[in-house]
Amino acid sequence: MTVRRRPSPRTVLAIASLGGVIAFVDATIVNIAFPDITRSFPGASVSALSWVLNAYNVVFAAFLMAGAGMADSLGRRRVFVVGLEVFTVGSLLCAIAPSAGALIAFRVVQALGAALLVPSALALVLQAFPPARRSHAVALLSAVSAAAAGLGPSLGGLLVTAADWRLVFLVNVPIGVAAVLLARRRLAESRAPGRRRIPDLPGTLLLACAIGALVLGIVQGQHWGWGSAPILGCLAAALTCGAVVVWRCTWHRSPVIDLSLLKIRTVSVANAMTVIGAAGFYGYTLSNVLFLTGLWRYSVLQAGLALTAGPVVAVAVAGPASRLAQRIGPRPVLVAGGLVWGGAVLWFVERAGMTPDLAGQWLPGMVLLGIGAGTLFPTLSGTAVGSAPGGSFATATGMNSVARQIGAALGVAFVVAIIGTPTPATAYAAFQHAWMFGAVCLFAAGLGCVLVGPVTAGQAPAVATAAPAVPAEAGPHKTAYLACPRPRRVIALDTVGPTAPRAESLAEFLARTPLFSDIDPEFRKQVAAQSQARHLAAGQWLYRQHEPADAMYVVQVGRLEAVDEAAGVVIGEFRRGDALGEPALLTGSPRSESVRAARATEVIAKCRADLTALLHGSPALSLAQNRSLGGRLQDTRTAAPTAPAGGGRADCAGR
């Protein structure tokens, strides 16, 4: 049979980075195009057009965790490709949008694509790299995304100057098409082991409604009146939908938000401060764009170049700040970063006047903004992720990204409400008030980090990026080793997978397997305590024909297939609960066939010495072992010599 060749980790990283580039350039490039968009639709108010930004933020925040769940359940490559296709089509539709309403609707399509694209890209990279190199790989992915986000303002200025705002969306199309073609041809499919769990889509929609209602109430507060019935209705709808989301998270198997993580003080504080800090960041970013193009009368290109210094400095500062946090602890770094960042926004309140002064007034403030952003945001994300239990790094990363996007939506909404539609006489004061809002948020985020505790569940990841929309780096994945005395061989076991599902205890699982179901429960617990788990990616070999036998295995989740490599055919199949590999252990002979994972699979390993001791200590286990071997011998005598792929179950002896 023909086996699809697995791509190299570098190939996976390169293709995933293409997806990250279009997703994170879009996070900053649309801000710089916003003034040009408002001129294209003079009949629409600024509050209405703010949904060009916030429709994206709201939908992306709500569907991010669902996208991660779909990637793990339906296949990471499949969801990555679908996300690319949806995002690319959405970009094309935005570029040809005939009205403001159509543009907002097409931004929703873009956000849905990004919610599928971003988590599946991260999962593909985590799956492709071995545990020892995963942190480095995610750092590279984040660095590429950070560079893309940093180039967004200047690139947006160039594109708008060359044509208009439509080119900002159109530039995504050729990159997206190239990424789709490469992904289809070069990436291999993988998904999380175990049963497929459908994400909580009703909960996801309710979360989108809650955020959307809250944002609508804030944006329309001045126009409708803060105490009016529509505003109170929006707030009531937001609270009601939010309460239902929390209730669903208490019982749903794939909740929108993992409430158990929020019981960890550092995780909950870090994510709360992420919401507040993101509100300040996205709020002052929009203020800066409107100030430069509105009051200082800069062209879009000039404004984009003036805004580029901040992200560049932030990327440079992020690495040293993260290493300092690892050395002395995150709390002092976070507090200092928040105070510097808030002080940088106050610089604009005090120094930015009505007369343009790039070198004297603007650039010093942007450098200070970059120092504060690079110190606080990456360290805050790394702390939120690193404080989660080892098997929850991916979930914690998704939650922190959701918190950041919720903050983004709220920040833009508050700034739009604060600035409103000012007259020439009140515009300068309106921008000062918007900057004060950003400063207060950033001061609050920094001071709130006093409540952050030490990172004890894992080492806080060294985040290599300061781009606010870039996912935090997943924490390091620990590797355990199962050492068998004879033969002297070490089997590497990835005990902390990037998307490890919640499962029954090992003893409970063994009680449901034919081999261990009849033995004494206390003895079964001993067996579970002495066993080790091993993860196999789709297509990975468990062992090869003629290798010396050093362990037996029980399939916990997934599916294995026995292969006659000489004939190139599948001769047997092993599913959940099936044992294999013990005949060669008992006879001392080499493996009689090769076994590989038909899809992502978890197996339980018992080495030769442990198995021998168990058989001597439990007559029931010896009897079950003989019964199992006899059944497989009967299957071998009656089965066809070569079964088709996916054919008879466990037709081989499993040696």
Tell me which amino acid residue 96 is: I
Which ranges of the chain have pLDDT less than 50? 1-3, 457-503, 635-653
The answer, as to whether pTM is greater than 0.95, is no
For residue 225, the tally of other CB atoms under 10 A from its CB is 12
Strands 551-557 and 601-607: antiparallel
Distances (CA, A) of 600 to 9, 80, 195, 503, 597: 17, 17, 11, 15, 6
- Rounded CA separation 284/370 (Å): 13
Distances (CA, A) of 310 to 244, 356, 415: 40, 18, 20
> How big is the chain, counted in residues?
655
Q: What is the DSSP letter of 392?
A: G
Contacts (Cβ under 8 Å, ≥6 apart) of 211: 58, 61, 62, 238, 406, 409
- Rounded CA separation 616/515 (Å): 15
CA angle 102/104/109 to nearest 5° reads: 90
Task: Assign 3-class secondary structure to 412-449.
Answer: HHHHHHHHCCCCCCCHHHHHHHHHHHHHHHHHHHHHHH
CA angle 373/374/375 to nearest 5° reads: 90
For the chain, the first-to-last Cα distance in angstroms comes to: 21
Task: Annotate 297-360 with DSSP letters as a single string.
Answer: ---HHHHHHHHHHHHHHHHHHHHHHHHHHHHH-HHHHHHHHHHHHHHHHHHHHHH--SS--III
pLDDT of residue 586: 62
pLDDT of residue 423: 83
pLDDT of residue 617: 57
Question: Residues 331-350: pLDDT tens digits?
Answer: 999 999 999 999 999 999 99
pLDDT of residue 194: 56
- Could you give the dihedral angle defined by the CA atoms of residues 215, 217, 222 and 224, in that order, rounded to the nearest 10 degrees? 140
Distances (CA, A) of 437 to 212, 351, 410, 434, 442: 21, 16, 12, 5, 9
pLDDT of residue 375: 92
pLDDT of residue 536: 82
3-state secondary structure of 197: coil
User: Order of strands, edge to edge, in the sheet holding 579-580?
Assistant: 532-536, 601-607, 551-557, 579-580
Task: Assign 3-class secondary structure to 26-37.
Answer: HHHHHHHHHHHH
Question: Residues 127-174: pLDDT tens digits?
Answer: 788 776 766 677 677 767 777 777 788 888 899 998 889 999 999 999
CA angle 629/611/525 to nearest 5° reads: 105
Contacts (Cβ under 8 Å, ≥6 apart) of 572: 561, 562, 593, 643, 648, 649, 650, 651, 652, 654
Residues 501 and 509 sit within 8 Å (Cβ to Cβ)? no
Spatial CA neighbour of 369 closest among 312, 408, 429: 312
Radius of gyration over every alpha carbon of the chain, rounded to an integer in angstroms: 28
Please, where are the H alpha helices in 163-258?
166-170, 172-186, 201-219, 221-224, 229-249
Alpha carbon 324 to chain centroid distance? Answer: 25
Q: What is the rounded average pLDDT for all residues in the chain?
A: 80
- Rounded CA separation 290/283 (Å): 11
pLDDT of residue 624: 54
pLDDT of residue 83: 95
Residues 135 and 461 sit within 8 Å (Cβ to Cβ)? yes
Contacts (Cβ under 8 Å, ≥6 apart) of 521: 507, 511
* Helix, strand, coil distribution of the chain in percent, nearest 5: 65, 10, 25
Tokens for 156, please give them: 């947006």
